[in-house]
Amino acid sequence: MSGIDDDLPKQPATTHVVGGDISLLSVDELTARIAVLHTEIERLESEREKKSEGRKAAENLFRG
């Protein structure tokens, strides 16, 4: 039965566990995980920027 599964293309990773074992991943799988992490970094930076702007607005409101 495993022969059938071996013929199917592997789906790229959509998640990554920080600190997890990556030694068995292929170059394509590593590339996919890097893309996932880049996307997550962009999402985090965007949220940080929104919160920073809100914080600055609140500080200016109470200073004014």
| pLDDT tens, position by position, 2-27 | 556 666 666 656 788 899 999 999 99
Q: How far is CA 32 from CA 3, 16, 51, in A?
A: 25, 10, 29
* pLDDT of the residue at 11: 60
| pLDDT tens, position by position, 35-57 | 999 999 999 999 999 999 888 88
* pLDDT of the residue at 59: 82
* pLDDT of the residue at 40: 95
CA torsion through residues 44, 46, 51, 56, sign: positive
Task: Compute and round to an integer the Cα radius of gyration of the chain.
Answer: 20
